[in-house]
A and B are shown apart, each in its own frame.
Chain A
Amino acid sequence: MIGLLMVTSIILAAIFAVQISGHDPDYIDPINSRLNPEWGHLMGTDQLGRDMFSRVLYGARQSIYIGVVASLLANLLGTFLGAVAGYLGGKFDTIVMRLSELVMTFPQLILVLIFVSLLGQGVNNVIFVFAVTGWMTTFRLVRGEFFSLREEAFVEADRAFGFSKPRIIFLHLLPNTISPIVVAFTVNIAIYIIAEAGLSFLGLGVPITTPTWGNLLAAAQSPVVVNEYWWLWVFPALAIVVFVLGVNFIGDGLRDVLDPRQKSITTKHSFKKALFGRFVRES
């Protein structure tokens, strides 16, 4: 619940950024540069006199957009590949599995850096890179679920009816695996928002002209800013921390509701037994 509150309040603030901040995030006002946080400029102003509060709010739009869309794409890709590979097995499964191992072997940040250097910078490129480098966890999750599901009686019945493979995979099997996918989706949002921040902090993510939380933090590359103008990097970072925490809380909550089997590692066995008794599926 706290998580929901944290996330919705930030999202609402981002949507109504214009009404709330009362400043144009790109309005340059050199006379009022580097103001301390005060009434009127709740989070102070940056080197060019732009209002930090409205920049953080507008940054929220970009950062959340990147996190959500990248997570959505990565999960779609992972789910699709996992579903097909898990149901068909065989050669396709082996190839995709090797591919996922290949991508996982790489340290993600280096992989992302290589991709960014190839594709150039930009919001959509960053999203693409995150999707390409982040589909493996969902893939493995869905593939595992499908492996155990495809032996179930209702799937056999489907096959006996002569349903086409796509129909069995996407209409009959996929709905049964949707809850772990949803949980993975929320957790990935948090991961990508932090990744975007890191990438932009290095100056390799979204072009500096677009305010994102990472780009705002990049101001702290200069020692003077770290030392004297703390509000320039503390507030964007706090926004990230609050949002990511909120998303994680939601993810935990969703997991408890949707997937009681995974409630927690420590109570797994007893909880499983208590809920499903002897109907627990052996995995």
Chain B
Amino acid sequence: MAFAISALIFFASRLSPIDPINALISPDAASDPANLELLRQELGLNDHIVIQYFNWLKELAQGNFGYSIQSGQAISEILALRMPATLELVLSALVLSTILALTIGLFAGANRGGLADKASRILAVIGIAVPDFFIGLAFLNVFAYNLGWLPTGQRLSPGQVTFMDRFPHLILPVATLTVAMLAVLIRYTRNSVLDTLNKDFVKTARSKGVPEWKVLFSHVFRNSLGPVMVILAFRLPLLVGGSILVETVFQWPGIGSTVVAAVSASDYPVIMVISMIVAMVILVASFLVDIVKSILDPRVRLGGGAS
């Protein structure tokens, strides 16, 4: 699978009509075809495409990601610079949205038609119909411009270094991402809780006289986590990929905005490496799903055997 993905990424980017060599060479030197030919030879662009592919793979495996066409920086350097910002943003949103979604979802499921249930419905509608960058724009307009409580974007204001300085910058993007992530998660939690509530073992627990809150938290909650975990695991890739739209709205200097910049500049090496990393994380995430599932539900066995 990993090889298939890497091949797809590599050959797709080679289909491009744009010759990456043009960006590397000064216009003066480009006027002489001999110079172009020399550079091609040096970069190995004249080799057979399959050989090029394996060379690329070899370099990747050795941790040499290549260089950005746009800036000439090493891609590993760019990643090291941008990754913390994305991690900071996505991790906080992921944690926050999970806690909120599990709480709201649990109460919505346990108490149908109640306050939490109504809130979950409204959030679900928002999640379906409102593009997440619009949520971000609305937050910006209200809290940053009109009320002036929070900064309008970026990760840092000039001259600020401590975490307390950075914190206000984090609030709006994280809030936007959280709201966008909440909707689906709440719906899944709620339905999963409802499903579990109908199971026989819940009836057994109740008839044994286990207090209702204990039934909810230790019996229902644990057993309804399965489907929720799947959704969560498929969000993990966001940690490295970043949320492209939200990062753009808030001018957040993360991986997502790097991707956008790379695409607009046809910066293939960068696009290739980032999509490769994201794809790898997705593979790892789906593997994690299986493991977590088997921990939560002993009936699911890893590998062979009846499921």
Q: Which residues of A contact B (CB under 8 A)?
A: 98, 101-102, 105-107, 109-111, 113-114, 116-118, 190, 194, 197-198, 201-204, 217, 220-221, 223, 226-227, 230, 233, 237, 240-241, 244-245, 248, 265-266
Q: Contacts of B237 on A, CB cut-off 8 Å?
A: 107
Task: Known pairs A107-B282, A110-B274; list 20 more (Cβ under 8 Å).
Answer: A101-B1, A107-B238, A109-B244, A110-B275, A113-B260, A113-B271, A114-B271, A118-B13, A118-B15, A190-B128, A194-B131, A198-B131, A198-B244, A201-B248, A217-B131, A226-B141, A237-B131, A240-B131, A241-B134, A245-B125
Write 24 A-B pairs (CB below 8 A) sorted by A numbering: A105-B5, A107-B238, A107-B278, A113-B244, A114-B9, A114-B271, A116-B263, A117-B264, A198-B133, A198-B244, A201-B248, A202-B248, A202-B260, A204-B263, A217-B131, A217-B133, A223-B153, A226-B137, A226-B145, A227-B141, A237-B130, A240-B129, A245-B125, A245-B128
Name the CB-closest residue of A to B241: A107
**Contact status of A118 and B128, CB under 8 A, knowing A202-B248, A202-B260, A265-B195:** no
Q: Contacts of B260 on A, CB cut-off 8 Å?
A: 113, 202, 204
Q: Contacts of A105 on B, CB cut-off 8 Å?
A: 1, 5, 279, 282-283, 286
Q: Contacts of B26 on A, CB cut-off 8 Å?
A: none
B68 beta carbon closer than 8 Å to chain A: no
Q: Which of A102, A198, A226, A245: most chain B Cβ within 10 A?
A: A226
Name the CB-closest residue of B to A233: B137
B16 beta carbon closer than 8 Å to chain A: yes
- Structural contact, A102 and B8, CB atoms closer than 8 A: yes
Q: Contacts of B130 on A, CB cut-off 8 Å?
A: 237, 241
Distance (whole angstroms) from the CB of B299 to the closest CB of chain A: 20
Q: Contacts of A102 on B, CB cut-off 8 Å?
A: 1, 4-5, 8
- Structural contact, B4 and A98, CB atoms closer than 8 A: yes
Name the CB-closest residue of A to B15: A118
Q: Contacts of A220 on B, CB cut-off 8 Å?
A: 137
B103 beta carbon closer than 8 Å to chain A: no
Distance (whole angstroms) from the CB of B176 to the closest CB of chain A: 13
**Contact status of A201 and B245, CB under 8 A, knowing A117-B263, A194-B131, A233-B137:** yes
- Structural contact, B128 and A117, CB atoms closer than 8 A: no
Query: Interface size for chain B: under 10, 10 to 19, 20 to 34, or 35 or more residues?
Result: 35 or more
Distance (whole angstroms) from the CB of B211 to the closest CB of chain A: 25
Distance (whole angstroms) from the CB of B85 to the closest CB of chain A: 18
Name the CB-closest residue of A to B271: A114
Q: Contacts of B145 on A, CB cut-off 8 Å?
A: 226-227
- Structural contact, A202 and B244, CB atoms closer than 8 A: yes
Q: In whole angstroms, what is the CA distance A240 to B130 when docked? A: 8
- Structural contact, A117 and B271, CB atoms closer than 8 A: yes
Distance (whole angstroms) from the CB of B44 to the closest CB of chain A: 22
Q: Contacts of B5 on A, CB cut-off 8 Å?
A: 102, 105-106
Q: In whole angstroms, what is the CA distance A245 to B260 when docked? A: 28
Q: Contacts of A111 on B, CB cut-off 8 Å?
A: 275
B152 beta carbon closer than 8 Å to chain A: yes
CB within 8 A of A266: which of B191, B241, B259, B263? B191
B29 beta carbon closer than 8 Å to chain A: no
Q: In whole angstroms, what is the CA distance A241 to B278 when docked? A: 30
Q: In whole angstroms, what is the CA distance A116 to B245 when docked? A: 16
